Structures are given as structure tokens and as C-alpha cells.
Structure 1
């Protein structure tokens, strides 16, 4: 089943850049106005999906990237470029870019702090919501699952320099990313902590965690916790700067 899911995900991803080719020439052909060479202008391709301020797209699959820790954003761009994450449009855009350029993009969006989009989570049962809250705040020692808050911070707003916040993300995005770890279409530098955690989550657990997180009120004024304020329960390769 996992093999089939990987094949479907990769095939859809390969088709999207082809569709984009039918859109981009319309804008490229309009040369009546000079193009300013600024970082804001150069990240317009990012803004097409993630919003000008990195506030997130209109659907649940383009997350809010504004305000996330710069090192987290930088490592995700590296992961797309170097093949650890699979999503063809992102891979296509970042493949020719240098480390320095990717870091500039990451810093640009890390310094934006837009409002969070509405998440519109599905209605889950009280039992499912209680399970989601348990996994987020306590984990499940019987299954070897650490609490989400033990890495992402007590307030779940992330931790500098490279751990992202979880509140304010849509249900669809959270569940899809956990699924991507389970199907090997998303990975991080080894040791890959999230891959180990995701492998222990059942479909019901994924829905519960995603639903509880997506139902929490997100505060745009909140910031990631300071570096060193959280001691993660496992060593993660993604935290190497």
C-alpha cells in the first residue's frame, strides 16, 4: 500500500510543473514594465502559493511559512533541492539555487509575521480530540511516542533555530505531512526523528493529532521559543546547522 501511495504522490507531483508551463509564459511575455531585482520580487514564485507575507494559501496544503524559524525554512528548502522531500513544483524551483540564496529566502519569510489563516478542522468525536490532546501534550509511552510539545515547545509555536510551530496549521496539511513521512516522500537529515515518530502513529492517531492541533487558536504575535529552552527527547539530524 505504501509503495502505491508513493507512486501516486510522485506522479501527481511530476504533472504539476507541466501545468505551470501553460501559465507562466503569459506573465513572462509582458515586458512592458521593468523588473526590479529585489528579494521581494525574486520570491514572488513562493508567494503564488504561500502568500505575499507567507501567510499560507487558500487551501490546506500550502502552509503558513511567515514567522517560522529561519533554519527550519532553510532546511526544508535544502530537503526539496537535495531530494529528501518530494513535491515536484518545489523541487523544480529550488534545484538550481545555492545554499546562500536559499538562506536569504528563509530569512525573508522568517521575518514576516502575518495573521494565521482559518483552518476549518473537521468535527471529530470527543474521544478523538482527547486522544489528540494526549499525544500532543503527553505522548504515548506505551507506543514509544513522545509528546509533540517535548520538541515543538510547550506553547507549540516552535523553537529557535530550527523547530517549527504546529498551531495554526490546517488539518489537511498536518495529516498529509505525517503521511508523507510514513510513505517516504518526506525526510530530513538522519537521524530523522519525525520519521520514527510517524511510523508509530495509527491512522486514527494521525487524525486525532491533526484535528486537535488545527482546532487550537493561533496567535500571530507569538514567537518561537528561544534556542536552548527545549531539550528534545531524541537527537535529530534536522537540528544540525
Structure 2
């Protein structure tokens, strides 16, 4: 081997060792693997108060796991999410769900609403009391009096962008978002008018975050409607 070849071989070997050293310095942890989620959901899954990407930090692990499985199995439609989780096992999706459920970064401030006061009051009424004349249960009946979610699989409704909330109601109405049967949110969404949906989304997005966002215990509620995603 001449001197030039020997030098070139040495450079290659040194480069390979450098790459191996860098790879060995990256921890193989769930936190490291979850970094890819930050591209849409923000650092630690905290998201923002604007746009179509929800906060996933602090949501009940059962809810997050159900949604990851729904994306993987085609019940929810989003090309990026389907690509991300398409080949992930149930065990890894559960680990990912539990990781984000354990995170509690600060919430963004609530969105300012330009909705009319009558619309906001309609939204508040539907969230807190529902509409018995149309068999629409109150949001708090399932999501808890603080709207902070209910264990093991019902999410909080606060700290979410109005556009995201609107889009999800629309997805349930059209069937592009589905869950395990009986699909309670699809049934409820189909009973809501576009004006109802706008009112509920605007009111929820404008609410301050309570000091305690701990999900309510499962024993604290009796669901007013059968829901296949929530064991009873």
C-alpha cells in the first residue's frame, strides 16, 4: 500500500470511528425517540394555542394510546401520523403514550375570541349543561368538571386551539375520524349544528387553565352514553 492509499484508509477509519462515537453518545431512550413528535406537537408535546396540532403532554395514557392505534389502523386520517406509527407495535405505542402522559410543561395562554357573546354563552351552556331536548350530553359529563379529562382514556379539552377543535368535530361528523364502536363522539358530533360546533370550540379555546389539570379518576363519572374507547 502506497502512502496516499494508507492515508486515505486512515481517514476512512477515523471517520467511521467518529460516526460510531457520535452514535454511541445518543441515548436509546423513549425521550430520545419521541423527539420526532416535537416537529408538529412542540417541545415535550406542549403544542401552542394556535393551529391544528393538539397538545399531547399530560393527556391520559389510555387516550393517547387509543389515538396512536387509531392512526396506525386507519380509523383516523393524517398522512404524517400514519407514516410515523404505521409499523409500530402495540407495546411501543403504549410506551410512547405513557411517556407523553407523564409530561406536564406549561400551557400556552388561552386564545382571545372574537365570537359574539351570545355564541360564547351557547358554547358554555353546551359544555356545562348539554342540550337535553336534542339528547346532547354536557362535555363535563365525560371530560370532568374541570375539563381536565378523566382516566383512563378521556382527554382534557382545555389548552387546545379553536381550529383544531373545529376540525375534529368536523372529522367526526364526516366519518374521517373514527374510534372503537360504539363511537360516542361521532354520535354527539352529528347532533351538533355548525353553529353549535363553532360556539363550543370558541368557548373552550378561550378558557383559562386551572391550576390543577390532573385528570379526574375513573370512579368520578358514569358516562351518559356508551363509548367503545372507554372501558366501563
Runs of at least 4 residues off by over 6 Å: none
In the alignment, structure 1 residue 107 sits paired with structure 2 residue 89: no
The verdict on how the C-alpha distance between 1:172 and 1:220 changes in structure 2, with shifts beyond 3 A counting, is farther
Looking at CA atoms only, which structure, 1 or 2, has the larger radius of gyration? 2
Match of 2:133 in 1: 142
**What SS is found at the alignment partner of 2:220?**
coil
* Structure 1 residue 52, shift from structure 2 partner: 2.5
In the alignment, structure 1 residue 37 sits paired with structure 2 residue 28: yes
Contact kept, 8 Å, 2:140 with 2:147, in 1: the verdict is: yes
Q: Structure 2 length as normaliser, TM-score?
A: 0.87
Equivalent position to 1:129, from 95, 110, 120: 120
CA distance in 1, matches of 2:49, 2:89: 29
* Structure 1 residue 220, shift from structure 2 partner: 5.8
Contact kept, 8 Å, 1:60 with 1:119, in 2: the verdict is: no
CA distance in 2, matches of 1:69, 1:97: 20
Structure 2 residues not aligned, in runs of 5+? 1-18
Q: Structure 1 length as normaliser, TM-score?
A: 0.84
In the alignment, structure 1 residue 160 sits paired with structure 2 residue 147: no
Match of 2:107 in 1: 116
Q: CA RMSD in A?
A: 1.7
In the alignment, structure 1 residue 69 sits paired with structure 2 residue 57: no
Q: How many positions carry a matched residue from both structures?
A: 212
The verdict on how the C-alpha distance between 1:173 and 1:99 changes in structure 2, with shifts beyond 3 A counting, is same
Structure 1 residues not aligned, in runs of 5+? 1-30
Match of 2:224 in 1: 233
Match of 2:9 in 1: none
Structure holding more helix per residue: 2
The verdict on how the C-alpha distance between 1:83 and 1:114 changes in structure 2, with shifts beyond 3 A counting, is same
